[in-house]
Amino acid sequence: QSVLTQPPSVTAAPGQRVTISCSGSTSNIETYSVSWYRHVPGTAPKLLICEDNKRPSGIPDRFSGSKSGTSATLGITGLQNGDEADYYCATWDSSLSAAVFGGGTKLTVL
Amino acid sequence: VQLLESGGGLVQPGKSLRLSCEVSGSTFRNYGMNWVRQAPGKGLEWVSGISGSGVNTYYADSVRGRFTISRDNSKNTLYLQMNSLRAEDTALYYCAKDSWPSGRLYYFDYWGQGTLVTVSS
């Protein structure tokens, strides 16, 4: 059971918009910045969003992040078949003194 | 920035293994480093982190007391000494560079390709 809760899967059509939620608590999301990663199993994860809502260089503006209280959200617009992957949120947890990942959300585009 | 893990392999339960991660293209000592793993069919799991100086270390409960993270800033290399290995430690182990020196996650801006550890008799 992950400290951060994400939906196991989301499905949307090409061109549509999807959001992925990440629910935590006061000891993690509410206090520390959230980052989001795209991961195709067996390959290196890729940073999509840092510091709650900032896009690193090279990440298109189709990707966005937001945070409110103990929850964070990743948004993806203009879905493409190539966006199919697993998406993870992550942050620090002061109660555990550990980094924590969400359980991951599998995005299917069809 | 490139991160290259090595040291994975097949090991029997109860035995030890040491992973390495060589980093190039970055001022290694300025950044915290971490190990993250993915077991077969599971999600990403943070394993351990270390500050840029090497003074501060952090561990997931699942590995505390069995794994030791360390770094050699003169060699730009991160290590993970894994003792008393269990079947549930079987995973692809990634090293990940943080964006600040603390050792406590801010965000992981670069990742390696991973090294596979299989614990089986």
Q: Contact B114/A44, CB-based, under 8 Å?
A: yes
Q: How far apart are CA B68 and CA B18, in angstroms?
A: 9
pLDDT of residue B102: 86
Distance of CA A35 to the CA centre of its chain: 7
Interface of B with A (CB under 8 A): 34, 36, 38, 43-46, 49, 58-61, 92, 94, 96, 99, 104-109, 111-114
A67 vs A17, A21, A99, B59, CA distance in Å? Answer: 18, 10, 18, 26
**A90/B58 CB distance under 8 A:** no
pLDDT at B8: 97
Q: What is the mean pLDDT of each run of 10 residues along chain A (110 residues)?
A: 95 97 98 97 96 97 97 98 97 96 97
Contacts of B57 (CB under 8 A, 6+ apart): B48, B49, B50, B51, B68, B69, B70, B103
| B33-59 confidence digits (pLDDT tens) | 999 999 999 999 999 999 999 999 999
Closest partner residue to A99 (CB to CB) among B105, B109, B111 is B105
Helix (H, G, I), strand (E, B) or coil at B30: helix
Q: Enter the tokens of residue B17.
A: 């293994």
Closest Cβ–Cβ partner in A92, A99, A104 for B43: A104
Task: Give B96→chain A minimum CA distance, Å.
Answer: 9
Contact residues on chain B for A50, CB-CB shorter than 8 A: 99, 106-107, 109
Do the chains contact at A92 and B44, CB–CB below 8 Å? no
* pLDDT (tens digit per residue) in B61-118: 999 999 999 999 999 999 999 999 999 999 999 999 999 888 788 899 999 999 999 9
